Amino acid sequence: MDYKIVHVPEKQRFETEQECVVAYVEYQVKGDSFDIVSTQVPQPLEGRGVGTSLVRFAYQYAVDNGLKPKATCPFAAIWLKRHPEYQ
């Protein structure tokens, strides 16, 4: 499913709102690396692919801007292993 995801650079995160609930990934940029440090999907949105959509969107942003995807967040780390095209 496609979610409307917005970049909130002042908070260093990408977020989506569904059913009045906000899910997001937080990131840090250091040099040429783009590190997702946290993925937060509230319980009402779990199991719908929201986290996966957020991580994919964030890493596509990184690649499009010449940054190397990294993952401190365990969820994002698993996602990167499954998608070597982003490494």
Q: Write the pLDDT tens digit of every residue in 24-66.
A: 999 999 999 999 999 999 999 999 999 999 999 999 999 999 9
72 CB contacts (<8 Å, ≥6 apart)? 35, 36, 37, 38
Question: Residue 82's pLDDT is what?
Answer: 96
Give the pLDDT of residue 39: 98
Residue 1 has pLDDT above 80, yes or no: no
What homologous superfamily does CATH list for 6-86? Gcn5-related N-acetyltransferase (GNAT) (3.40.630.30)
Q: Indicate whether this model's pTM tops 0.85.
A: yes
What's the pLDDT score for residue 76?
Answer: 98
Query: Any idea what the Cα angle at residue 62 is, between residues 13 and 28, rounded to 5°?
Result: 45
Question: What pLDDT score was predicted for residue 87?
Answer: 82
DSSP code string of 15-50: EEEETTEEEEEEEEEETTEEEEEEEE--GGGTTSSH
**Residue 83 scores a pLDDT above 80:** yes
Q: Where along the chain do its domains lie? A: 6-86
